[in-house]
Structure 1
Amino acid sequence: MSDTTLTTETPTIETATAEKTAHGVLLSDTAAQKVHSLLTQEGRDDLRLRVAVQPGGCSGLIYQLYFDERLLDGDATVDFDGVEVVVDKMSVPYLDGATIDFEDTIQKQGFTIDNPNATGSCACGDSFH
């Protein structure tokens, strides 16, 4: 007789990690803190950060970041420590692997997007392809 033991343990999956890669966009801690600060200033708790890609600019595509109260059919959402980031289904492939950060230096203040899918951008840096 063999001494085989069957276990019925359920594999542990870290939900936070799985959720944070649902749409492939990552939000840095600095960016999450800035978004949270802006939402607090607005005095609303029903808004989320929407990240989208739209046709436009010198290189063909532009990023849009704005607060939105709506959830549209097919939206992918991820919560980053109380900051919900929403990406529409058409933008997900363009933004997969992108990281949103916030810079606050003498030279620059604002959100930045590091997107591995962008093969080039225009001189002004506002659009990509």
Structure 2
Amino acid sequence: MTTPTQDAAASTEADQLKSHQVELTEAASSKVAALLEQEGRQDLRLRVAVQPGGCSGLIYQLYFDERTLDGDAVRGFGGVEVIVDKMSVPYLDGATIDFEDSISKQGFTIDNPNAGGSCACGDSFH
């Protein structure tokens, strides 16, 4: 028989281990791994979030984070962990993060089937 404290601890641990449906391409995973290596820290993960802002109402945020928050969804890609907060999970379900490195463009891109449209700047969506 478990105690309420043990049940709460197990529940918190399970909440942190929820998975999400965001995909990270091999190119994006390799770039993130290279950036993490440059940082020289083993405790960082890629956090993907959706925040209010931009001309279309919502913007993507990609950054390294050492924290895990209650309700975070975590998924690994070849040694790279991607974390999505519980509020962003529905907005990012099925999204694919890629990295493009060509003569005309360099950077991360997000193909999101949940976005109804985006603005001309390409930084926000609705």
* Band of TM-score, shorter chain: 0.7 to 0.9
Q: TM-score by structure 2 length?
A: 0.85
- Give the SS at the match of 2:33: helix
* Aligned-CA RMSD value: 1.0
Number of aligned residue pairs: give it: 109
For 1:60-96, what per-residue CA distance to the aligned partner results, in whole angstroms no more than 9, with x for missing partners? 0000000000000000000111000000000000000
Q: TM-score by structure 1 length?
A: 0.83
Higher Rg: 1
What percent of counterpart residues are identical?
80
1:60-99 alignment, distance < 5 Å = 60-99=57-96
Between Structure 1 and Structure 2, which shows a larger proportion of helix residues? 2
Measure, in 1, the Cα distance between the counterparts of 2:71 and 2:65.
15
User: Which aligned segments of 4 or more residues in structure 1 are displaced greater than 4 angstroms?
Assistant: none
Find 2:45's aligned residue among 38, 44, 48.
48
Residue segments in structure 2 that go unaligned for 5+ positions in a row = 1-17
Residue segments in structure 1 that go unaligned for 5+ positions in a row = 1-20
- Give the SS at the match of 2:83: strand
Measure, in 2, the Cα distance between the counterparts of 1:121 and 1:45.
35
